[in-house]
Amino acid sequence: MTEKIKIFLDSDLLEKYLLGATSTEESLQVERYIAMHPEVRETYNELQENLEAFAKLHALKAPEGLKNNILYRIRQQKRSTSKFFKYAIAASFTALIFAGSSYFFYNQNKNLQEENTLVTNKIKDLEMDMQVQLEDIRNQYIVLNNPNTKRYSVNGNKKASELKAVAYVNPVKKLSYINVSNLPQLPEDKCFQMWAEVNGEMVNLGIIKDIDNKEKLWALPYADNAVGYITIEQQGGNATPTVQNIVANINY
């Protein structure tokens, strides 16, 4: 037996460990000695045997009913832990539902807000459209009813003799409109386009599409001594008028 082990065994640390009276640090030290030195291990095992034997010599009859009390408490313990888990599961389930519904409502709220902006924008657009159209109709009414309004009949030349149109020009209000009442049939790849020469510049007024809509009044940009033209162009329209295809002109 080495001196080190002898000192250790004399220190009573092993006995303290046996009774569970050592600190964590001391316990680790003792466990190391037990693991490394067979003499210590042997002494420890002997001490354990002695302890059990000595303790048994002090055995006393435990009171009646103690066993049942203990088993009852242990069953309670088990039940309370399982109850705890039940509550824990229920609680986490509730939390999950709450989180899920929160997310659902948050999303729904976001969608509704987006839809709301969309609807508001649409209403604004419609309002603007309506204002524009109302203004247009008001102007048409002014032009058509104003005694100062001059009425010009427009007839197509040889290229489109069936073309009939009426232009209304009011130099006081500086408004002019044209109503195309009849257009000759054109091949599929051609179309009529309306132009106005204002202060020496050619302005594209667009393609005449709704031949069926005979009541439609086209607003013409007003200028003194302006000239309106109708030309035959390739389907889809042109950026500049094809001069040789002019079928009608209106001086106003």
Partner 1 sequence: MSTLLEKHIVELLQERDEKAISLLYDNYANTLYGVAYKVVKDEDLAQDVVQESFVKIWKKSDSYDASKAKLFTWLFRITRNTAIDKLRSVNTKSDKEIQIDVSDVYNLGVNTTRPEFMDVKEHLDKIEPKYKIVLDALFFEGMTQQEASEELDIPLGTIKSRLKIGLRELRKIYGTSMVLTMIVSLIS
Question: Which parts of this chain interact with partner 1 (CB under 8 A)?
Answer: 12, 15-16, 18-21, 31, 45-46, 48-63, 66-67, 69-71, 73-75, 77-78
The 10 Å Cβ neighbour count of residue 41 is: 13
**Which one, 60 or 239, has the nearer CB to partner 1?**
60
**Which one, 18 or 205, has the nearer CB to partner 1?**
18
DSSP string spanning 6-28? HHHHHTTHHHHHHTT-S-HHHHH
**Which one, 74 or 130, has the nearer CB to partner 1?**
74
**Which one, 9 or 154, has the nearer CB to partner 1?**
9
CB 96 to partner 1: min, Å: 29
CA distances from 185 to 182, 190, 206 (A): 10, 10, 18
The b-or-e profile of 97-107 (16+ CB within 10 A means b, else e) is eeeeeeeeeee
**Measured between alpha carbons, how far is 175 from 171 in angstroms, rounded to an integer?**
7
**Which one, 66 or 243, has the nearer CB to partner 1?**
66
CB 83 to partner 1: min, Å: 16
CB 8 to partner 1: min, Å: 13
CB 26 to partner 1: min, Å: 12
Specify the residue for token string 């519904």.
101
CB 80 to partner 1: min, Å: 12
User: Phi, psi (5° rounding) for residue 228?
Assistant: -100, 140
